[in-house]
Amino acid sequence: MKRLIFLTSAVLFGFLVTHTIPHQNFFKLVSLSRMGILASMATVFILTLPLAAWIPDFKIKRKPKRLKRKKQHR
């Protein structure tokens, strides 16, 4: 799940970056059409896929403090 969340955030970030740079003519042309927006999303997604493959799944272990206190008393 963490990998999916990272992927979506990376895709959105890349999308914002590509559409806020007015100097590149390619992204100017792409942003004019709806299909172009989909294409840019797809390219950003494809670019971020290998990055997500390199990142290992990290699990956040959350233990409630009550359980810790009970274990300490035992």
Per-residue pLDDT of the chain (74 residues; tens, 9 = 90+): 667 777 777 777 777 666 655 555 655 555 566 666 677 777 777 777 766 666 555 554 555 566 555 555 55
Q: What is the pLDDT of residue 40?
A: 72
The enclosing H or E element of 64 equals none
Instruction: Render 20-59 in DSSP notation, one character per residue.
Output: H-TT-HHHHHHHHSHHHHHHHHHHHHHHHHHHHHHSPP--
d(CA 12, CA 16): 6
Q: Tell me which residue range forms the domain holding 64.
A: 2-73
The number of distinct structural domains making up the chain is 1
